[in-house]
Structure 1
Amino acid sequence: MSEEARLREDICRIAKSMFDRGLTCGASGNISARLSDGTLLMTPTGSSMGFLDPARISRLDAQMKLLSGDQPTKEIPLHSAFYETRPQTGAVVHLHSTHSVALSMLPDIDPDNMLPPLTPYAIMRLGKVQRLPFILPGDPAMGDAVRGLAGKRSAVVLANHGPVVAGKDIWAATYAIEELEETAKLALLTRGLGAVGLSDEQIAAVVRRFDIDWE
């Protein structure tokens, strides 16, 4: 199986798994991944992540021009901004997952680091997660907001919309965005209960041990 055929299959398999577990619903969410020749595969606009056809996934050149397949997601500006500002990016995943969206709407979270430090794995897989303001879906301003972070964040949550995570490959991006959603769920479940998260010293130890960018 060629690199492209395998990646097409992986995108569909991962997308269906996320859909089946309720991490995104209807025709929401999108995935992109970069091939070794610099071209990109991207889920089509208006498609359900539970019912993707590998043959119809959009293929784009490095300038985001459609080469084959269906028209790509309208969230191209969001994906392209991560590829431009984080050269190590091999894939981008965007969901409308419930707990991440709910947490983004709360008035007292820190927009520069919206996930409370409840587990080491959120720190290890995500670093600090930035909450971005509400922007209309598909608006180029989404890409501008990501570019404004100058590549310092691999994960953001669009307020009232959903999380977006860039990873070195499709599996890394998938694991990271699932960790984001689970941490958001934990944050909501324990909110107001006096839960004890990681201390500053424990956070620093995780950052040192796993060489995390925590600036």
Structure 2
Amino acid sequence: MRQAGMTAMSTETSNETRLREDICRFGRSLFERGLTPGSSGNISVRLDGGGWLVTPTNASLGFLDPAKLSRLDEQGRLVSGDAPTKEVPLHTALYDTRGSARAIVHLHSTHSVALSMLPEIDPRAALPPLTAYYLMKCGATALVPYYRPGDPAVADAIKGLAGKYSSVLLANHGPVVAGDTLEAAVFATEELEETAKLYLLLRGMNPRYLSPEQVADLVKVFGVTLPQHGHGH
């Protein structure tokens, strides 16, 4: 019995070590491609044994140290590592309302931030159905109003979405995307950024979006989940 318990503990430790390395690896990739400058952006991952890992405050995603990542307990209190990002309330609110979320990526990526500042953006669907992969990876993207970075009130705005969105734009700030794995969250964030770029390139050119029938086909074949009115624009 004791050996079984020790094996479970060693597996848990091994998984945490791997997740720490993954956070640093993906963070560096995002930083090196200019998707979040300076010390902006943050990443968190839920741990199987309870609590979660998150990137520290004022840390560049390009130069993270696995040993210095902030480990928080289930109440969001610091257990070990450096002081966590001030965006902890943002991450906590998304985890609390979206039960399937295992990882969250928040960036200050240029095209997504630009999109969040446009006057015509529908808060229920910040982007129209431009591509199949946008819908497959992001679903629909909500836009929430501007809040000062780190403002606990942003948590209420996220909770107001009732877990219907895995992809959220913070006005004049940047995207926040949840996934069932860290890799999924990163890939969805990248897809959101590329789709925002496409939208800006095509703005005012009357592009051809996916039709309701094409969207319905993606929903049926790939199990895409869209909030009500989430795929119109």
1:50 aligned counterpart, secondary structure: helix
Tell me if 1:171 matches 2:183.
yes
Question: For the residues of structure 1 that align with 2:171 and 2:219, how far apart are their CA atoms?
Answer: 27
1:194 CA displacement: 2.3
Within the candidate set 123, 127, 130, 1:111 is matched to 123
- 1:134-145 mapped onto 2 (5 Å cutoff): 134-145=146-157
Question: For the residues of structure 2 that align with 1:27 and 1:135, how far apart are their CA atoms?
Answer: 19
Structure 2, gaps ≥5 residues long: 1-12, 228-233
1:120 CA displacement: 0.5
Question: For the residues of structure 1 that align with 2:220 and 2:147, how far apart are their CA atoms?
Answer: 35
Question: For the residues of structure 1 that align with 2:135 and 2:15, how far apart are their CA atoms?
Answer: 31
Within the candidate set 9, 33, 36, 2:21 is matched to 9
Aligned-pair identity in percent equals: 61
Tell me if 1:97 matches 2:109.
yes
Looking at CA atoms only, which structure, 1 or 2, has the larger radius of gyration? 2
Question: For the residues of structure 2 that align with 1:178 and 1:156, how far apart are their CA atoms?
Answer: 13
Question: For the residues of structure 2 that align with 1:169 and 1:119, how far apart are their CA atoms?
Answer: 22
1:78 CA displacement: 0.4
Counterpart of 2:21 in structure 1: which amino acid? E
Structure 1, gaps ≥5 residues long: none
The CA RMSD over aligned residues, in Å, is: 0.9
Question: For the residues of structure 1 that align with 2:99 and 2:74, how far apart are their CA atoms?
Answer: 12
- 1:154-193 mapped onto 2 (5 Å cutoff): 154-193=166-205
1:26 CA displacement: 0.4
TM-score, normalisation: structure 2: 0.91
TM-score, normalisation: structure 1: 0.98
Tell me if 1:31 matches 2:43.
yes
Within the candidate set 124, 145, 148, 2:136 is matched to 124
Counterpart of 1:82 in structure 2: which amino acid? L
String of CA shifts for 1:156-175, please: whole Å, max 9, x gaps: 00000000001101011001
String of CA shifts for 1:35-93, please: whole Å, max 9, x gaps: 11012000000000111111100001010010000000000000001111111110000
Out of 193-202 and 6-15, give the one that drifted further: 193-202
Counterpart of 1:140 in structure 2: which amino acid? P
Counterpart of 2:187 in structure 1: which amino acid? Y
String of CA shifts for 1:148-189, please: whole Å, max 9, x gaps: 111111110000000000110101100111000000000001
Question: For the residues of structure 2 that align with 1:130 and 1:52, how far apart are their CA atoms?
Answer: 29
2:23 aligned counterpart, secondary structure: helix
Within the candidate set 204, 214, 224, 1:202 is matched to 214
Counterpart of 2:226 in structure 1: which amino acid? W
